[in-house]
Structure 1
Amino acid sequence: MPAPTAETCRQRAAEADKAATETSLDKVRERHLRARDSWLEMAERADRVAAMRDRIAAEKAAAKEAGAADA
């Protein structure tokens, strides 16, 4: 199963935040808030991974162009 996208993680975080505001039970609210925080961390991680993949792809393309220019 592929990792969730940053957007999916942010949607889940919003759902958890909404659930936290709708409950009257402290323990349940805390659980939803922890889930929200975890989803936001996963979204940030997904953003970093996407940026790293883009950077690596750009570096490979530049190296390929440099190799073609040398030939």
Structure 2
Amino acid sequence: MADDAHFYRVRADAERANAEAATLDNVRERADRAARSWEAMAVRAERTRVMRETREAATIAAREHASDEAVSG
């Protein structure tokens, strides 16, 4: 998916709405658990994206540094 964190948050919002609309305790609890799970997935997706971007930036910087050394060396 193009933006996993956004998708997961949309699902969490939908589950929160389901919880608010539920008349049965077990249905409300299930929806609350689902909302928390979707939110946790969103947080993990964001953390993964940041780590990937950091790793990619480091790789690019290392390549540029190696290229600069090859030219000046």
Deviation (angstroms), 1:65: 0.4
The runs of at least 4 aligned residues of structure 1 exceeding 2 Å deviation read none
What percent identity do the matched residue pairs reach?
A: 39
Q: Distance in 2 between matches of 1:39 and 1:23?
A: 18
**TM-score (normalised: structure 1):** 0.94
RMSD of the alignment, in Å?
1.1
**TM-score (normalised: structure 2):** 0.91
Deviation (angstroms), 1:57: 0.4
Deviation (angstroms), 1:64: 0.3
Q: Which residue of 1 aligns with 2:41?
A: 42
Q: Which runs of 5+ in 2 are unaligned?
A: none
Q: Which residue of 2 aligns with 1:9?
A: 8
Q: Which runs of 5+ in 1 are unaligned?
A: none
Task: Give the number of aligned pairs.
Answer: 69
Which has more radius of gyration? 2
Q: Distance in 2 between matches of 1:19 and 1:38?
A: 14
Q: Distance in 1 between matches of 2:24 and 2:58?
A: 51
| 2:34 partner letter | A
